[in-house]
Amino acid sequence: MKPFQRLSVYLLLNVLVSAITTLLVLVVWTYTHPGSKIQASAPENSTPSAPETTLTATMPVILTPENTPTPTEIENVEEYEIQRDDTLGEIASRYGLSVEEIMQVNGLNDPDSISAGMVIYIPVTPEIPPTNTPAPTATAALALDTTPDKQAGAAGVVINSVIGVGDLTQERVFISRTGPGELNMAGWQLRDEHGNAFAFPQLQLFEGGAINVWTTSGSASVVDLYWGLQSSIWQAGETVTLIDAQGAMRATYQIP
């Protein structure tokens, strides 16, 4: 046998032995590692499949008109525009309400948060004078009904404040009703310390009601009367006096 033939035989035997050895190694590995699998490599141009993942999402709660909270509807209210120097206390007294009631209806947290020009809502209550109450006129020279009120002895009235002292366009005396029943103020007078007097026309002041007596001219209503003067009349330190139709002093107020 020639040398190259021997070399070929040796190489063939070597390949055969290597193959048998590899096969034995694979068989032994398979039996000793039963949980393992030999997988062929994926082709280079293949895309590995993504593992399946189960996602659990929590859906947000969407408010619809059916489940959205709505504020309590307020019925039987009227609009009121805040005037200069108005306070919630004066407005509440004028309409026979409490400050807390007005704050609740308008969503106010601070009674001093109002300002001139602001529009607030006033709940209508039984204490508001009826619409058929005779409207007083603006002049002090009207014919007066001097018949004493039957409930005058039980009725009370107080001068709360003098607003806008020295400013003709804003100056007014704020008077509110106290006690039960109705008060006929026809023939009553509002006086200063110098002999000037405003005579009230025919006017019924209801329980919890209030009235403004303005120094200037204007159109009278159930809550506003006008003296018709051409200049301011009140001064700081002056005493304001309210006299009833029988000449008895019913209330006084000293301007700060």
User: 33 in a domain, yes or no?
Assistant: no
Are 202 and 244 in a shared domain?
A: yes
Note whether 190 and 95 are same-domain residues.
no
User: Do residues 190 and 143 both lie within one domain?
Assistant: yes
Look at residue 10 and tell me if it is in a domain. Answer: no
| Residues 136 and 220 reside in one and the same domain | yes
- Looking at the domain assignment, is residue 94 inside a domain? yes
Q: Which of 99, 127, 155 is the last residue of a domain?
A: 127
For the chain, residues with pLDDT lower than 50 are 38-43, 46-51, 53-73, 126-131, 133-154
pLDDT at residue number 4: 64
CATH of the domain at 103: 3.10.350.10
The reply to whether 39 falls in a domain is: no
Whether residues 99 and 156 fall in one domain: no
Residue 249 in domain: yes
What CATH number is given to the structural domain containing 136? 2.60.40.1260
Q: Residue 231 corresponds to which tokens in the numbers above?
A: 């200049």
Verify that 97 and 141 share a domain, yes or no: no
- Same structural domain for residues 242 and 176? yes
State whether 94 and 207 are in the same domain.
Answer: no
Please write the tens of the pLDDT for every residue from 136-147.
444 333 333 434
Query: What is the domain extent for residue 101?
Result: 72-127
Give the per-residue pLDDT at 33.
Answer: 64
Is residue 105 in a domain? yes
pLDDT of residue 58: 41
**Is residue 160, in this structure, part of any structural domain at all?**
yes
Regarding whether 222 and 175 lie in a shared domain, the answer is yes
Of 127, 145, 173, which residue sits at a domain end? 127
pLDDT in the model for residue 1: 57
Q: Do 78 and 167 share a structural domain?
A: no
Give the end of a domain, one of 92, 127, 162: 127
In a domain, 25, yes or no: no
User: Which pairs with CB-CB distance under 8 Å and at least 24 residues apart come from 49-56?
Assistant: none
The reported pLDDT for the residue numbered 122 is 86
- The tens digit of pLDDT for each residue in 176-209 reads 998 888 888 999 999 999 989 999 999 888 888 8
Q: Do residues 168 and 136 both lie within one domain?
A: yes
The verdict on 101 and 185 lying in the same domain is no
Domain count, the chain: 2
Measured CA to CA, the distance from residue 207 to residue 128 in angstroms comes to: 9
Question: Which own/partner pairs from 89-95 qualify as long-range (CB within 8 Å, at least 24 positions apart)?
Answer: 90/160, 90/161, 90/174, 90/210, 91/120, 91/122, 93/160, 93/176, 93/208, 93/210, 94/176, 94/209, 94/210, 94/211, 94/223, 95/122, 95/125, 95/127, 95/128, 95/208, 95/210
